[in-house]
Every structure is written in structure tokens, then in C-alpha cells.
Amino acid sequence: MMKMWLVCGLVFLSSLSCVLAWSDWAEWVPDAVTEFIDNPMRRSRIPRFILDAKHPWILENKRKLESLPDAEAFLCGLDAPSDEPVVHVNNGLELPRDLFHYLEIDNRRLSRPGWRNALERLREMKRCPQALARVKTFKVNIYVHDRYSDWFLRVREPSRPYKESLKLCGDVLEAMTGLESLKWEIDAEHAHWFEEAFKHRNLTLPSPKHLLIGPLSHYLVGMCPNVEAIENIDVVCWKHSQHQNPGLLLVRSTSSAKNLTRLALHACFEGWSPELAREVLEYMPQLTSLELKNCFESMYLDPAYSVNPPRPAGKLLRGILAEISNFPNLTHLDLPASYELDLGFDGGPICGNAYDGPGGARYQREVLAESYRATELGGVIVAEVLPHLTGFTVGGHQPNITRDEGGISNVTWFWTGKLDEWLLARIPDYHDEL
Ligand SMILES: *[C@@H]1O[C@H](CO)[C@@H](O)[C@H](O)[C@H]1NC(C)=O
Ligand SMILES: *[C@@H]1O[C@H](CO)[C@@H](O)[C@H](O)[C@H]1NC(C)=O
Ligand SMILES: *[C@@H]1O[C@H](CO)[C@@H](O)[C@H](O)[C@H]1NC(C)=O
Ligand SMILES: *[C@@H]1O[C@H](CO)[C@@H](O)[C@H](O)[C@H]1NC(C)=O
Ligand SMILES: *[C@@H]1O[C@H](CO)[C@@H](O)[C@H](O)[C@H]1NC(C)=O
């Protein structure tokens, strides 16, 4: 029976898609049909946005919740007629305090059309004021299926977001009065829809302290006046013209962020340059913490570089750090992995199977040791150029630093003094080599 339905559904779908342009089709299809396609089994009584958040308590109590007369009303705090004992009404369930601390709208790991998923999740959230009032971290990641996706997802993407969803999105964000962290992972080509809608309603979000934002969504910075830390998402930037460098636009959008103390910036395809560091200093002299999420301009743009590094190891790093030393209050710096720092280590073989066969493990240990040596060199240079720092990382490794009046006097890494043991523990010899 189910199979028949599916077959009929598919025939119906494909004939329709011939008649109508893809994009308009999606808006035309009634909810019931798309809901059936998304979930041909019985619809859960628990709102899907709550299931999506994967709180362990929900996963554990799913069956009990499903058996409540109205799980949505219970979870969203609209329930509990006062004359009945609450425990009886709710099958003995009690909501954990952190139940709604994390919420998301994210169709990337699910086979759902992006705009439709956003609309449906937003509708559910709007009906759940309890969740909106309690959420601390909210992630929005809308993947709009395109020609690289399966046709049954692609044909259900309208050419633009549903109007209702843009309004709902503003409503929902405004109702999140305790929101601390907003993760806005919208692709560059769709950023403007939200920008227009949010600007139109003069959206202001006083609560978020942390912003993670996608390319061309820098307008959000002005809408979050109390933001303290901003990070942008690593993006493939060659799509954008020079005038639209999303990293630069982000930097220039921060003037109003008076409480901003940390920036983690991926500088796109152009990479980090002394000019960019100066630009960051001009707009955010108050920073106490800075992260360079990727490597330097010349490593991307100088074609001679990748074949034959023309500079002495550390020259590019010193150049950038010299600019960074002008931040008056900077105490912490995060640098990318050592192979991104132009320190004479190129990252080793790209293919994992370079380490196959006899001697493979030994070779892999050599490459790892080389990366640690480059990391140490990076640490030496940081300590020399920025002796006032109280902490830094290279490629996620945080060394212990010793300070005296003159600044950083010693830097030790977790492998310092026990490199060989450490390498052998991480990459033991393969059996066939013994
Ligand atoms: C937004 O702000 C502008 C300028 O302050 C004002 O003219 C406009 O009416 C406001 N719009 C809304 C929807 O409040
Ligand atoms: C910044 O932080 C201070 C103190 O925490 C606070 O009073 C102020 O309202 C915040 N926002 C702005 C925009 O300065
Ligand atoms: C650096 O910190 C000092 C002391 O907290 C403060 O007075 C000064 O305004 C800060 N500088 C910048 C550029 O924010
Ligand atoms: C740095 O610290 C390590 C580990 O504590 C120690 O062995 C080494 O002698 C120190 N080096 C200097 C220059 O103080
Ligand atoms: C830093 O020092 C502490 C205390 O001695 C030690 O437990 C830790 O492993 C050290 N970390 C590194 C990265 O060396």
C-alpha cells in the first residue's frame, strides 16, 4: 500500500514538474503533500524542531512523550489544566531546565528542502513560547538544494524563501530574549533576503554575545549591539568580486559593536595580509583576543610560492604579527596550523596512502615531527614579536608559557621533552613491520 502511494506520488510529482517551472512548483504544493513526502510514517506528536535539537532527555523519553494526549502542549507550556495533578497529566515526566538551551533550523544532515524546512520549523517555534524564552544557542543553516542535489529535493525549493518565513524568522529571533549565541550559517547568495526583511522591521537583538556568521550576513553585527565575540564561517570566496570580500565587509561592519573583544576571522581566498591586520586594528582597536583562521595572502596568490617558497621561513608570519603587535589590549592570539604559517612545512603528503607499506608509520611520524617543529618555530616567533601575550595557540595546540618582567621567557608544548615517545604512542608501527 505504502509502495503504491509512493509510486503514485512520484508519477504525480514528475508530471507536475513538467507542467510548472521548478521553483514555483514548491510554493504551489500543499503542505499535506510535502509533509507526506518528508515523513510517510505517522507524524510525531512532538514538534519536529524539538526532535531536531536531539536533547538526550527527549530521545530517552520519546515514547512516553508520544503517548501524552498533547505532547506539544506539554513541552511548550500551554498545557496543564490547573485542576488536575500535573504529574498524572504528564506521565510522571518533568522537563529538564536545559531542554531548550539549544535549538536549530538545519536541513544539511537531513533530506529536507531548505526553505520548506525553515518555514515549518519556524511555525512550530512560534507556537512554542517556552522554547523561545529559554534558548541560549540558536543555529540557522538553510541549505537550498540546487542542481547538485537529488531532483526530489530540488523541485521542492522555491526560487526564493517563503514570505511568511522571513516574517516568522524576525518574530522568533525577537522572542529569544535570553539568546547568547546566534549561529547564522546562511549562504552568501541567500543572505540578502533576511537582510531586507530584518532591516525593514528594524530588528534589534540586545541579548546575543556570540555571533557566528556566514558570508554577506555582516549586517547582523549592527543588529546585535551587545555582541562580544564574532566569528565568520570559512568560505570558498572566489565566487565574490574584490569589492564584496565578505571578510572585509564584516570587519567594516563592527564600528557599532562597542563591547566586542574577540574576533575570529577567516580571510577567504585572499588570505591574511598586513593590510587586513591594519584594517582590523582600525575598526576594532579594543580587541583582547584575535584568531587568524587561515593562512597568508602570498601563500594563496603568489603562484611561485607553492612550487618553491621564495621567502625565509617565518617572514610572512613576522610581517602579520608586527601589525598585530599594535593592538594595545590584545592578550590572546590563535593561529592556524603550522603548515598554513609559511614556516617551511608544507603539510606533508595530501594522500593518506603515502603512509602505506613498509616504513609508512616511520614516515608518518617524521611528517608529524616536522609539523611540531614548525609549530615550535611559530611559538618562538610569537613570543618574540608579541611578548605581552598571556596565551596563544597554533593549530589548536596551546603551549604552557612562562613569563618574567621581559615577557614570555619559555614556551613548552605537550610533546616538549618527550617527542619520540609521543610520536610512537600516536603512530605505532603497523603489525606487518614488526
Ligand atoms: C524603522 O526605523 C526607521 C528609521 O528610524 C523608521 O522610519 C521606520 O518607520 C522604522 N520601521 C519600523 C517597521 O518600525
Ligand atoms: C556593553 O557592556 C556594558 C557592561 O557590561 C553594558 O553596560 C553595555 O550596555 C554594553 N553595551 C554597549 C553597546 O555598550
Ligand atoms: C585598553 O584597555 C584600557 C584599560 O582597560 C582602556 O582604558 C582602553 O580604552 C583600552 N583601549 C582600547 C583601544 O580599547
Ligand atoms: C623551559 O621549560 C622547560 C620545561 O619546563 C625546561 O626544561 C627548559 O629548561 C626551560 N627553558 C628555559 C630557557 O627556561
Ligand atoms: C602545562 O603544565 C601543566 C602543569 O604542569 C601540565 O599538566 C600540562 O600538561 C602542560 N601542558 C602543556 C601543553 O605542556
Enclosing H/E stretch for 181: strand 181-184
The pLDDT, as a whole number, for residue 27 is 52
Protein residue with its CA nearest to atom 4 in ligand 2: 259
The pLDDT, as a whole number, for residue 57 is 95
Percentage above 90 pLDDT, the chain: 59
Let me know if domain 45-353 sits in CATH 3.30.1460. no
CA 203 to centroid of ligand 2, rounded, Å: 18
Cell of 341: 604559517
Q: Of 108-117, 275-284, 357-366, where does the model show the most confidence?
A: 275-284
Cell of 303: 603562484
Enclosing H/E stretch for 232: strand 229-232
**Best substitution site from 400, 412, 413 to test ligand 5's pocket, by max atoms within 8 Å of Cβ?**
400
pLDDT class of 409 with cuts at 50, 70, 90: very high
From the list 379, 312, 370, the residue with the least C-alpha distance to 346 is 370
Q: How many other C-beta atoms are found inside a 10 Å radius of the C-beta of residue 65? A: 22
Cell of 6: 509512493
Residue 49 or residue 305, greater confidence: 49
CA 259 to centroid of ligand 2, rounded, Å: 6
Convert the pLDDT of each residue in 1-14 to its tens digit.
Answer: 344 444 444 444 44
Query: DSSP code of 340?
Result: G
Contact 269, 237 (CB under 8 A): yes
What residues does 338 pair with on adjacent strands? Answer: none
Contact 327, 301 (CB under 8 A): no
Residues 6+ apart with CB under 8 A from 258: 225
Query: DSSP code of 415?
Result: T
**Best substitution site from 211, 227, 255, 259 to test ligand 2's pocket, by max atoms within 8 Å of Cβ?**
259
Convert the pLDDT of each residue in 345-374 to its tens digit.
Answer: 888 887 777 888 778 888 999 999 999 999
Kind of pairing between the strands at 391-394 and 400-404: unpaired
Q: What is the dihedral of CA 239, 242, 245, 249, to 10 degrees?
A: -140
The pLDDT, as a whole number, for residue 308 is 64
Percentage above 70 pLDDT, the chain: 81
Contact 179, 226 (CB under 8 A): no
pLDDT class of 241 with cuts at 50, 70, 90: low
The pLDDT, as a whole number, for residue 42 is 53
The pLDDT, as a whole number, for residue 36 is 55
Q: What is the Rg, in whole angstroms, of the alpha carbon atoms belonging to the chain?
A: 26
Q: What is the mean pLDDT of residues 413-429?
A: 91
Convert the pLDDT of each residue in 52-103 to its tens digit.
Answer: 999 999 999 999 898 888 889 889 875 444 444 444 456 678 889 899 999 9
Index of the ligand 1 atom closest to the CA of residue 202: 1
CA 416 to centroid of ligand 4, rounded, Å: 9
CA 226 to centroid of ligand 2, rounded, Å: 6
Q: To 5 degrees, how large is the angle CA 294–CA 300–CA 306?
A: 115
The pLDDT, as a whole number, for residue 12 is 45
Protein residue with its CA nearest to atom 11 in ligand 3: 286
Question: CA–CA separation, 340 vs 347, rounded Å?
Answer: 8
Query: DSSP code of 44?
Result: P
Q: What is the mean pLDDT of residues 326-349?
A: 93
Residue 180 has pLDDT above 60, yes or no: yes
Query: DSSP code of 292?
Result: E
Q: How many other C-beta atoms are found inside a 10 Å radius of the C-beta of residue 141? A: 19
pLDDT, mean over the chain? 85
Residue 19 or residue 195, greater confidence: 195
Residue 399 or residue 33, greater confidence: 399
The pLDDT, as a whole number, for residue 428 is 87
Place of cell 595557540: 393
pLDDT class of 192 with cuts at 50, 70, 90: very high
